[in-house]
Amino acid sequence: AIQKAFIEVNEEGAEAAAANVVRGIRPRPSVRPPTPKFEADRPFLFYLKTNDQTLFNGICMQP
């Protein structure tokens, strides 16, 4: 079985999709601290979590 998935993260929040399921995470309107800069120079795992629940996870092989 093959599953297609994507994740997009930007200043507005994160959006993730897998197959035909789409879930979005939007930040609440508020004053937020500046977003730290993230640069990867090697493959990495990532997890989107809320409390102790994993919403989405994945691996980036070619950053």
Higher pLDDT, 45 or 6: 45
Distance CA 44, CA 63 (A): 8
**pLDDT band at 20, cuts 50/70/90?**
very low
Q: How many structural domains comprise the chain? A: 1
Mean pLDDT of 8-28: 63
Give the residue numbers spanning the domain of 14: 5-28+35-60
1 with 11: CB under 8 angstroms? no
> Of the given ranges (6-10, 12-16, 23-27, 55-59), which has the lowest mean pLDDT?
23-27
